[in-house]
């Protein structure tokens, strides 16, 4: 009987760890709390520094993971409790009711078309709406719909039932209940990734009060061909194409009052998004307000130079003091200080402003760490056991990787995830 490993978090780190562990012959249970695996990478348009289409390189991995004979997916699920000691861990997983029988659902989407309830779409970063019964994105794995019990009329009031009527496969089950499964696991991998800070906590940057202020992850969706604007870069206030674009780095990160650490990936993704914006709108002017341009990876400096020289991106070393709505509530006015002691305050008008907010340990990661008995550092990220064991957590048999450990980009997350697989193999071989 192969030994079992539970992987928590189905982003690129969790997917990679699962694939390697499965290839090594372990039985992997991948637990993802949203309806699909993929994590943040599924939301990105392209990836720096090669500008590979994110979904195009991720999708095959998602499918291979789901199709692997040694991987069992538990999507829309959470780990509730872990009992026992390494190597005899009992992991209780709650598979939340989707009100859809996923063995029957074909993912055809007929129900979605007919559902009368609309709510803001989390995958699209609330730039558009989804239905109460939904598929988070077209390439979702598994490709099965989910009913959002919080908003579904039938679940809440008992009056509707349209989806059940149109479903040819008979997959809708309004009386479905949560299910709890328990896995006897030999090891656990935590790869719960990140969430983006609520930028309205810093009102001086205008998020929420100015229509044409968006956050970086929203901007990824605005660039994406499968996003809410069909890949046409437009601004929210009037749907016009922006000609003057700006980014503000370190919104709430490297900031004493908010989050002290550096989120590591923003300098690069802002540069990437600037290049992509120019590819969408040939005559767009882009400015990036930054503190230090942290381009430390392979090909990153060249990428920044390309943005500057070939795509005309203007890098301004300054932290804007305030953002006001522009005339008639369209566009924004950004006030910032120019370089040097002789620097003066200037106010510049932009059509669209993108904020790069701090990237935080994912929502609920403190509670999960408590449940698993893991230590977090002062910034809320998972702490490694010691210098000799960089991917071991503070609890024996629990390994950690990806953004949940510290801010890091995709290749670093992938490398660490594979590293976790090696450690699992070591400790289960009898090593320390």
Ligand X SMILES: Cc1cc2nc3c(=O)[nH]c(=O)nc-3n(C[C@H](O)[C@H](O)[C@H](O)COP(=O)(O)OP(=O)(O)OC[C@H]3O[C@@H](n4cnc5c(N)ncnc54)[C@H](O)[C@@H]3O)c2cc1C
Query: Are the beta carbons of 117 and 157 closer than 8 angstroms?
Result: no
Q: To 10 degrees, what angle do helices 12-24 and 410-429 make?
A: 40
Kindly provide the b/e burial profile for residues 81-96, where b requires at least 16 CB atoms within 10 angstroms of the residue's own CB. ebeeeeeebebebbbb
Interface with ligand X (CB under 6 A), residue from 25, 170, 312, 364: 364
Of 88-107, binders to another protein (CB under 8 A) are: 107
Q: Does 376 bind another protein (CB under 8 A)?
A: no
Give the Cβ contact number of residue 387 at 10 Å: 6
Pick one of 3, 63, 128, 324: the residue that binds another protein (CB under 8 A). 63
Q: How far is the CB of 347 from ligand X (least distance, A)?
A: 27
Give the chain's largest Cα–Cα span. Answer: 72
Q: Does 31 bind ligand X (CB under 6 A)?
A: yes
Number of residues that bind ligand X (CB under 6 A): 40
Residue 393 contacts which entry, ligand X, another protein, none (Cβ below 5-8 A, type-dependent):
none
- For ligand X, give the closer residue by CB, 172 or 191: 191
Do 29 and 7 form a contact (C-beta atoms < 8 A)? Answer: yes
Residue 39 is a binding residue for ligand X (CB under 6 A): yes
Does position 2 interact with another protein (CB under 8 A)? The reply is: no
Q: Does 115 bind ligand X (CB under 6 A)?
A: no
Q: Is 11 in the site for ligand X (CB under 6 A)?
A: yes
Is 8 a binding residue for ligand X by CB under 6 A? The answer is yes
Binding flags for another protein, 232-261, as an x/- string (CB under 8 A)? ----------------------x-----xx
Query: Is 194 a binder of ligand X (CB under 6 A)?
Result: yes
- By CB under 6 A, name the one of 4, 29, 40, 130 that touches ligand X: 40
Query: Taking the complex as a whole, how short is the minimal distance between the CB of residue 331 and another protein, in angstroms?
Result: 27
d(CA 7, CA 18): 7
Burial 282-303 (b: 16+ CB within 10 A, else e): eebbbbbbbeebbbebeebeeb
C-alpha dist (Å) from residue 377 to 61, 380, 414: 31, 5, 22
What distance in Å separates the CA atoms of residue 294 and residue 257, rounded to the nearest whole number? 22
């Amino acid at each position: 009987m192969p030994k079992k490993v539970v992987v928590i978090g189905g982003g690129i780190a969790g997917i990679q760890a699962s694939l390697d562990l499965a290839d090594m012959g372990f039985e992997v249970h991948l637990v993802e709390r949203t309806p699909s695996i993929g994590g943040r990478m599924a939301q990105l348009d392209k990836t720096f520094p090669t500008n590979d289409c994110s979904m195009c390189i991720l999708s095959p991995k998602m499918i291979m993971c789901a199709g692997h004979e040694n991987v069992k997916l538990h999507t829309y699920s959470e780990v509730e409790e872990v009992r026992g000691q390494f190597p005899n861990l009992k992991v209780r997983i709650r598979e939340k009711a989707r009100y859809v029988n996923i063995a029957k659902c074909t993912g055809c989407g007929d129900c979605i078309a007919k559902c009368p309830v609309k709510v803001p779409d989390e995958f699209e970063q609330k730039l558009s709406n989804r239905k109460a019964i939904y598929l988070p994105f077209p390439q979702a794995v598994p490709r099965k719909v989910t009913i959002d019990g919080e908003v579904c009329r039938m679940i809440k009031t008992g009056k509707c039932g349209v989806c059940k009527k149109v479903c040819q496969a008979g997959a809708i089950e309004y009386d479905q209940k949560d299910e709890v499964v328990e896995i006897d696991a030999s090891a656990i991998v935590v790869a719960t990734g990140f969430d983006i800070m609520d930028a309205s906590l810093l009102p001086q940057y205008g998020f929420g009060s100015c229509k044409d202020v968006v956050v970086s992850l929203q901007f990824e969706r605005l660039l994406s061909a499968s996003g809410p604007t069909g890949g046409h870069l437009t601004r929210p206030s009037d749907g016009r194409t922006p000609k003057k674009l700006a980014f503000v780095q370190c919104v709430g990160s490297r900031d004493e009052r908010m989050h002290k650490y550096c989120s590591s990936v923003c300098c690069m993704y802002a540069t990437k998004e600037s290049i992509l914006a120019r590819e969408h709108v040939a005559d767009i002017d882009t400015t990036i307000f930054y503190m230090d341009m942290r381009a430390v990876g392979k090909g990153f400096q060249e990428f920044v130079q390309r943005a500057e020289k070939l795509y005309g991106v203007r890098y301004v070393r300054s932290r804007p003091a305030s953002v006001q709505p522009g005339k008639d509530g369209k566009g924004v006015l950004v006030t910032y200080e120019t370089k040097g002691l002789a620097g003066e305050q200037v106010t510049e008008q932009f059509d669209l402003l993108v904020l790069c907010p701090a990237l935080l340990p994912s929502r609920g990661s403190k509670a999960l760490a408590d449940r698993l008995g893991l230590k977090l550092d002062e910034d809320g990220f998972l702490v490694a056991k010691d210098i000799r064991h960089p991917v071991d957590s503070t609890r024996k048999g629990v390994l950690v990787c990806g953004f949940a450990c510290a801010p890091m980009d995709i290749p670093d997350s992938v490398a660490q995830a594979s590293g976790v697989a090696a450690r699992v193999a070591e400790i289960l071989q009898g090593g320390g």
